[in-house]
Structure 1
Amino acid sequence: MLSKRHAALCFSLATLLVGCASAGGGAWVELKGKRFAVEIADDDAERERGLMFRDTLAVDHGMLFVHDTEEPLSYWMKNTKIPLDILYFDHDRKLVSAQKGVPPCSGGDRCPPYASEGSALYVLELNAGQADALGVKAGDELTFGPEIVSKK
């Protein structure tokens, strides 16, 4: 039987765990009928760090980069350890271009850039191979979950 102190401690821990599970989760996007849980990078520091130094990216997860203005964008894989698909979307959340199977790069500032083929406002990074598995093509629409505020 738990003492009142232990019961209170267990309740507090359970509440904390539920809060942690819901705080970081919840944001999602959908592309071609497939839903991906996403982390949001919507300021300069978050966009600069991106998925650097990560050893893995869970299946059906990604990172959504939200930029302040729509313009031609270029991403690189500096200090990124996992191959990625980099998908560029415009203000209407339509796919502008895709850089598929972009390899990791440990070359620091010598890592090559991967540019969009047009102006973009949003960038979705997924595990390499997802774009081909979905059969993405220019004009495909990215749907945002309710937690993501569109810049439209």
Structure 2
Amino acid sequence: MKTLILRTSFWFLLFFVLIFCGCSEQMKKTELVLVRNDGTTETLSVELALTPEEQAHGYMERKKIPAGTGMLFVFQYDQRASFWMKNTPTPLSIAYIDSTGTIRDIFNMKPFSLEAINSTVSVRYALEVPQGWFAENNITPGDKIQIPKL
């Protein structure tokens, strides 16, 4: 009987530890300011994808992305980046951004597509937003982001 109680207690405790740990793994968030060439700005509330795990998961399985939000992927070093839309049901636009904060490319991406969307140059950041957000807000290649302090 004692063994059964200990075993049950162990599994009960393990269950709550795993649940608690899962809740604490939310991505960090910050406000990101985008600056157009004419000096006007737009602000987005972004989740920060900092770890390889966060970057691999991205917006997978998210059915809705609220207006005015996005996800900023921060790479450890400048690199050619490549994204796809596997298991991602929401249409997205992506901006590839170099280490100076300059937007170099903007592409639209199709839900669930396995097509690789590659940056044309080495970049330090990628910014995903609901599809059409860049066009609706007149954000184009050459515009900049104010690089957040991490």
Alignment of 1:38 onto 2:43: no
Identity of aligned residues (%): 28
Deviation at 1:135, TM superposition (A): 2.1
Aligned to 1:58: 66
Aligned to 2:121: 118
Moved over 3 A (4+): 23-26
- Count of aligned pairs between the two proteins: 121
Structure 2 residue runs without a partner (length 5+): 1-25, 36-40
Q: Which amino acid aligns with 1:65?
A: F
CA distance in 1, matches of 2:29, 2:122: 28
CA distance in 2, matches of 1:144, 1:27: 11
CA distance in 1, matches of 2:28, 2:116: 30
CA distance in 2, matches of 1:114, 1:25: 25
Matched residue of 2:105: which SS? strand
Q: 1:137 aligns with which of 140, 146, 149?
A: 140
CA contact (8 A) 1:96 1:119 kept: no
Alignment of 1:84 onto 2:92: yes
TM-score normalised by structure 1 residue count: 0.73
Alignment of 1:104 onto 2:111: yes
RMSD (CA atoms): 1.9
Deviation at 1:26, TM superposition (A): 5.3
